[in-house]
Chain A
Amino acid sequence: QKEVEQDPGPLSVPEGAIVSLNCTYSNSAFQYFMWYRQYSRKGPELLMYTYSSGNKEDGRFTAQVDKSSKYISLFIRDSQPSDSATYLCAMSSPLNAGGTSYGKLTFGQGTILTVHP
């Protein structure tokens, strides 16, 4: 079983739809949860990151973390064709007891999203 599971899709939605992207994980040590967007032949771009459980909103994007269920989500409201990309969830755990340093990211497989006009 992979540490992080993400439905690869592909996911195709009409413009204006609400998009829900999800990941599950098995490692309870993960404390930081990130969402990256990657366009074709480009490096990943950090969209949002959250610490521990809860919600975080940034414009049209909302990230949710439920540590009790080991489940994270990214919602995109009023989706646009420019949102068409691969979305990657990623997680990290602290390297030290104080939680001041974090190590490598563990990525999901990525979900390919297409928003058609």
Chain B
Amino acid sequence: GAVVSQHPSWVICKSGTSVKIECRSLDFQATTMFWYRQFPKQSLMLMATSNEGSKATYEQGVEKDKFLINHASLTLSTLTVTSAHPEDSSFYICSAVGLAGVEQFFGPGTRLTVL
């Protein structure tokens, strides 16, 4: 199966700092990548859809200036949490869709803790 990696897997930062999370499709080209947020014992909440070379599409209620998404190539998308605050602490997961356009493959997730 297709492999999606995320880096870092776990990050702790101070309030007010920015954190960048990378999502890579390792063995396929991803035309579209998605970013999700997940709270404990809850399902995944879609934050934004990212297409290579174009601006991300954010879901309603997600602050685009706070969660910056860059999809610079067909194998890499980044999520930057700017001026992070404790309420941004969560599990962030990316997924990627291959050229076939149906199956979404998920990364292992990044646990962000903001102190």
Q: Which residues of A contact B (CB under 8 A)?
A: 32, 34, 36, 41-46, 49, 88, 90, 92, 100-105, 107-110, 112
Contacts and interface: CB of A to CB of B under 8 A. Distances in A.
Interface in B95-112: 95, 97, 101-109, 111
Given A43-B109, A45-B106, A49-B102, A104 B43 contact: no
- The majority secondary structure among interface residues of chain B is strand
B106 A41 contact: no
A100 B42 CA distance: 31
Given A100-B101, A101-B101, A102-B97, A107 B43 contact: yes
A105 B32 CA distance: 12
6 contacts: A43-B95, A46-B105, A46-B106, A102-B97, A104-B46, A110-B42
Contacts, number: 53
Contacts of A112: 41
Contacts of A101: 101
B107 A32 contact: no
A43 B4 CA distance: 10
Contacts of B103: 34, 46, 49
Top-4 shortest CB links A-B = A43-B106, A101-B101, A43-B109, A43-B108
Given A49-B103, A105-B104, A112-B41, 9 more contacts: A36-B106, A42-B109, A44-B44, A44-B93, A44-B106, A100-B101, A105-B46, A109-B43, A110-B42
